Each structure stands twice: as C-alpha cells, then as structure tokens.
C-alpha cells in the first residue's frame, strides 16, 4: 500500500510538477493583473467574433467574416442549423457573456431542428459539435433542455451506426430521410471518425440511463481491439462492409487523430476505470513512438506519417494536438515513472516543434502542414509544400497543446506562446466582421479565406481563455475535453448513473 501510494505520488509530481513561480516573490499582483488583462482580451475577441456571426449569419452555420454574410460550404451543409451557435454556447457561458449566451439558448430552445435537413451530413461532425456542445451545457447547468436536444441529435445518427452488419458506422447521415451513406467519392470509413463517438455516447448513457448508446461504442471498440493490425498499428482506412483495413497509411493527424485522443480520454473520463481504453492507448501510441516519432537533423522532434511503413517527415497543424495528448497521457503510466516522464517529454518537444512552425513565419501563425529534414532552415516550415499547405484556418490544436501543457507544468512559456498567437490573430486575422483564416502564412499581407469556422469560437478562443484563467476553472482532474473543445465531466467509478433528478455533479456557475 505504501509503495503504491509512493508511486502514485511520484507519478503525480512528475506530471503535475507544481510550481508557484508567479506568487513566490510577491509580484503576484502584477502577474495577476497581466493575466487578467490577457483573459479580458480573449473575451473581447469572443464577443466580437460572436457578434459578427449573430449580426450577419444568424442561424447559418458559419460567418463569412470578409463579406459580413453567411459562409456557404461549411462542413455541416447548407441548411440553417446554427453550427456556430451550438458550438459557442459553452464558451460564452464560461466567459460570462450572458446576453450573448441567452440569445443562443433561446435559439436552441425554439428553433434548433434537423428535421427538415434533406442532405447528407457528417456523423462525426454532428456528434463532436452538436452532441458535444449540448452535453457540455447539460453538465454545466443541469438544464433538461440540453439533455433532450443532445439525445435528439444522437437519435438522428442511429441510421449510420445500425446500417452495417460489420458494426462500423457509416460516414454520413441524412437527418430528414433517416438514411445513412458513405462520404461522397470515398467508400472507406476513416479511423478518426469511427473513433469519435465514444465520449459523447458514454456520457449520454450515464445521464439518460439509455444503455444502447454506450453498448454500441463498446462493441465498436471491442471490434477494433480484436482486429488483426499490421505491426500493431492502425491504418486510417477501413472498409465498413467487410471491416478489412484499406491501404496502409498511418497518422496522428487528419484521419487518425480522434481515434487516439478518445482512447486516452475515455479512460480518463471513466475515472481511470476503463482499463481497455488505457491499454489500447498505451499499445497504439507505443507503436507510434517506435515507427513515427523522429528527430530532425536540426534537432526538432516530429511525428511523421507512415505510407506502407515508409516514414513521411511531415506534420500537420492538426497533428499538433498530440503534444497535449502525450503530456496528458503521461498520467496513464503512473506505475512507470520512466515512461510517464518520457511521454511528458515527447509532449513538450512536440509543443516546441509546433511553436517553431508558428515562429518561422512572418505572420506568427503556422501553416497547415510542415516538413522536416529537407534543409535545416526549412524544418517546421511549408517551404516546398503545395501552396494550400501554407494556409492557416484559425485551427485550435497548437493553443490546445499550450493550454494542456500550461496546466500540467505551470511553465510560463506556454502562456507567452499563447499570447503570441493572440497578437498574431489580432494583427492578421481580424476583419470588420470577425476573424478570417489566411491563405499563406508566409505573406505579411496575403489573402484571407473569409471563413470564421465555428471551431474558432468553440476551441481556439476557449483554449486561449482557459490558458489565461485560474487552473480551478474546468480542472483537468474533473473534466475531459471532447475533440471539439467541449468539456464533459469525469465519471466516478461508484457513480455510474446520476440520481433520478439527473443532477449533474459539477455545476459551473456563470462567473
């Protein structure tokens, strides 16, 4: 018992590494004032982005922030289903933007519906953004409206998960017709998408008592566990009819990311009870460290992609979430302080590399993907990549990693790096109506893409706000963030189901 406790404590210190630098010399007042003004700045950005959307694109999915008009061509289709509203509610709530929140709440109550949506929408997208956003709001407020709306969306997804004998979900669903189908032009299921239901489906079972949702994702996970895998790695393509792997491409970026993320986070959210998730995570990322982790000759750590076991020395902006994931995952190695320290170290090194990808551009914002070992100067840049790889789409992964590492290490540099992003966003991405992505981060005055994605409000701005907030706001030992930035409460082992009144464990009051 004593040994176990010591090990646990050791792991705890390794990972949490508490430092109270900001208070120790009596400068706390100054430090606090600075952090507070940084936090207020991010809040102002959120208010501005939301108001632009609310004025010029209300009910549409996203804003065109250059034209001050709805953005056509969002991942969530052409219908007015308010993606930016549902995605933003928890951020507004956390920031205490009450008026804005109230308008969004009324819209969800009165007008949110998928019943007339006669087009195919992404199952994974509906789950991450709509189900996830609504569930966070349920966890914060206990308002039954959010529970019933979340379950309403989950029911719209059921055709996609019941239509294949293999149990592999289909990619798209038509909410009006209640039918599922593959993504246009691509028959294969994608690893990140089929792994992206687990957190939300488990939580909704806990709050509704309806077991079928959790049973489904458990069966799906058992299935993936039992499949034969090439060198114990997970390819990103899977045939949904036969459940056979497609071409051998492996990545922790697009098409792979959420699968790995939800293995770890499902273990965390289960109160570290679901050992299957943890074991699968440890095996999967253990293999990734063997096959995909590299060190460039100029000394930058990267996570490459595999094509037929050949390493491609390239990372995506999306892959940068892995810095935070490896650091968070260090707690999964509590019996092995060497491994715990290694995973934390990998997380820090990836964060450093991703910071370099931002720092090596004149805009201070990072490209969509970047390479290694072409020449040392070109490490972590998109020089020589196709021009669309030089774009910045207001994505969250880099600040998400800064946020997690800040929480776990209390190293001031992560706040400084986050502030660099805030300043770069203000300088290069702010428009008359909101915020826009950039077509080329290597041009000071390059073209804007005009899109203010809903995830900018749900994730990028939320993580920045939390980076400059007290660690007691959504502490990582009580909340797990879904892949769309929506926090879900950690379930404690002995409280599988909530009381009959469905009173959530963690209310979060309006500040």
Ligand X SMILES: *[C@@H]1O[C@H](CO)[C@@H](O)[C@H](O)[C@H]1NC(C)=O
98 binds ligand X (CB under 6 A): no
> Binder to ligand X among 37, 55, 78, 102 (CB under 6 A)?
78
Mark the segment that binds ligand X (CB under 6 A) among 86-94, 107-115, 123-131, 228-236.
Answer: 107-115
364 three-state secondary structure? coil
Residue 177 CA to residue 152 CA, distance in Å, equals 15
Mark the segment that binds ligand X (CB under 6 A) among 101-109, 300-308, 385-393, 415-423.
Answer: 101-109
Per-residue b/e over 424-444, b at no fewer than 16 CB within 10 Å? Answer: bbeebbebebbbbbbbbbbee
- What the block records as the tokens of 289 is 């460290």
Which H/E stretch holds residue 296? none
Strand (E) positions, 37-171?
62-64, 69-71, 121-122
Residue 410 CB, nearest approach to ligand X (Å) = 11
Residue 51 CB, nearest approach to ligand X (Å) = 14
335 binds ligand X (CB under 6 A): yes
Mark the segment that binds ligand X (CB under 6 A) among 42-50, 100-108, 196-204, 304-312.
Answer: 100-108
Mark the segment that binds ligand X (CB under 6 A) among 70-78, 147-155, 367-375, 418-426.
Answer: 70-78
**What is the torsion angle, in degrees rounded to the nearest 10, for the CA atoms of residue 446, residue 450, residue 456 and residue 458?**
180
Residue 115 CB, nearest approach to ligand X (Å) = 14
> Binder to ligand X among 55, 72, 308, 444 (CB under 6 A)?
72
**What is the torsion angle, in degrees rounded to the nearest 10, for the CA atoms of residue 498, residue 501, residue 505 and residue 506?**
140
* Among 459, 437, 455, CA closest to 446: 437
Mark the segment that binds ligand X (CB under 6 A) among 104-112, 213-221, 305-313, 440-448.
Answer: 104-112
36 binds ligand X (CB under 6 A): no
- Report the largest interatomic distance among the alpha carbons of the chain, rounded to a whole angstrom: 64
70 binds ligand X (CB under 6 A): yes
Question: Total binding residues for ligand X by CB under 6 A?
Answer: 13
Q: Which residues contact 493 (CB under 8 A, 6 or more apart)?
A: 270, 271, 273
Residue 108 CB, nearest approach to ligand X (Å) = 8
Residue 70 CB, nearest approach to ligand X (Å) = 5
> Binder to ligand X among 98, 106, 219, 444 (CB under 6 A)?
106
Q: Is 483 annotated as a binding residue?
A: yes
Question: Which residues, numbered 451-470, are part of the site for ligand X (CB under 6 A)?
Answer: 470
107 binds ligand X (CB under 6 A): yes
Q: Which long-range contacts (CB under 8 A, 24 or more apart) does 289-297 make?
A: 289/346, 291/231, 291/233, 291/250, 292/250, 292/251, 292/252, 293/346, 294/372, 294/373, 296/372, 296/373, 296/376, 296/379, 297/373, 297/376
Mark the segment that binds ligand X (CB under 6 A) among 103-111, 116-124, 292-300, 448-456.
Answer: 103-111
Residue pair 132/200 in contact by the 8 Å Cβ criterion: yes
Beta partners for residue 293, in sequence order: 303
**Residue number with CB closer to ligand X (24 or 472):** 472
**Residue number with CB closer to ligand X (245 or 406):** 406
472 binds ligand X (CB under 6 A): yes
Residue 200 CB, nearest approach to ligand X (Å) = 25
**Residue number with CB closer to ligand X (35 or 179):** 35
110 binds ligand X (CB under 6 A): yes
424 three-state secondary structure? helix
Task: Name the residue with tokens 């407020």.
Answer: 141
User: In the chain, how many H helices and how many E strands?
Assistant: 19, 17
111 binds ligand X (CB under 6 A): yes
Which residues does the annotation place in the binding site for Ca(2+)?
Answer: 483
Which residues does the annotation place in the binding site?
Answer: 483
Binding site for ligand X (CB under 6 A): 4, 32, 70, 72, 78, 103, 106-107, 110-111, 335, 470, 472
């Amino acid at each position: 018992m004593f040994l176990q406790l010591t090990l646990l404590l050791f792991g705890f210190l390794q990972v949490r590494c508490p430092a109270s630098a900001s208070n120790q010399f009596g400068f706390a007042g100054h430090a606090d004032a600075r952090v507070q003004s940084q936090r207020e700045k991010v809040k102002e950005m959120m208010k501005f982005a939301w108001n632009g959307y609310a004025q010029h694109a209300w009910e549409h999915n996203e804003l065109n922030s250059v034209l001050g008009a709805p953005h056509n061509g969002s991942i969530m289709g052409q219908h007015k289903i308010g993606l930016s509203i549902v995605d933003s509610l928890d951020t507004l709530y956390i920031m205490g933007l009450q008026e804005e929140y109230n308008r969004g709440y009324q819209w969800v109550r009165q007008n949110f519906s998928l019943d007339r949506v006669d087009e195919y929408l992404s199952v994974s997208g509906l789950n991450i953004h709509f189900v996830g956003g609504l569930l966070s709001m349920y966890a914060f407020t206990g308002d039954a409206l959010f529970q019933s709306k979340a379950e309403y969306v989950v029911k719209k997804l059921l055709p996609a998960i019941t239509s294949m004998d293999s149990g592999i979900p289909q990619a798209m669903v038509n909410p009006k017709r209640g039918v599922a189908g593959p993504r246009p032009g691509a028959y294969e299921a994608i690893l990140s998408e089929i792994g992206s239901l687990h957190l939300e489906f488990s939580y909704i079972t806990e709050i509704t008592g309806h077991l079928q949702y959790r049973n489904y994702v458990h069966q799906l996970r058992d299935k993936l566990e039992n499949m034969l895998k090439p060198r114990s790695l997970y390819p990103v393509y899977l045939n949904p009819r036969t459940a056979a792997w497609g071409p051998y491409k492996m990545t922790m970026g697009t098409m792979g990311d959420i699968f790995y993320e939800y293995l770890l986070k499902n273990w965390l959210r289960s109160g570290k009870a679901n050992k299957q998730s943890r074991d699968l995570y440890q095996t999967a990322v253990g293999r990734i460290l063997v096959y995909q982790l590299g060190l460039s000759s100029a000394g930058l750590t990267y996570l490459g992609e595999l094509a037929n076991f050949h390493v491609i020395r390239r990372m995506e902006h999306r892959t940068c979430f892995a810095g935070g994931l490896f650091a968070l995952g260090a707690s999964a190695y509590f019996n092995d302080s060497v491994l715990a320290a290694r995973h934390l170290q990998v997380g820090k090194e990836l964060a450093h590399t991703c910071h370099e990808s931002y720092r090596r551009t004149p805009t201070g914002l990072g490209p969509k993907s970047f390479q290694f070992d072409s020449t040392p100067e070109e490490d972590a840049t998109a020089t020589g990549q196709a021009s669309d790889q030089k774009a910045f789409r207001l994505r969250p992964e880099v600040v998400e990693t800064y946020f997690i590492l800040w929480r776990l290490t209390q190293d001031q540099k992560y706040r400084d790096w986050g502030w660099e992003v805030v300043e770069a966003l203000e300088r290069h991405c702010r428009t008359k109506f909101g915020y826009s992505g950039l077509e080329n981060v290597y041009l000071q005055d390059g073209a804007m893409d005009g899109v203010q994605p809903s995830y900018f409000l749900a994730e990028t701005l939320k993580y920045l706000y939390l980076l400059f907030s007290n660690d007691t706001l959504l502490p990582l030992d009580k909340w797990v963030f879904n892949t769309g930035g929506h926090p879900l409460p950690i379930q404690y082992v002995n409280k599988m189901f909530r009381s009959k009144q469905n009173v959530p464990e963690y209310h979060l009051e309006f500040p």
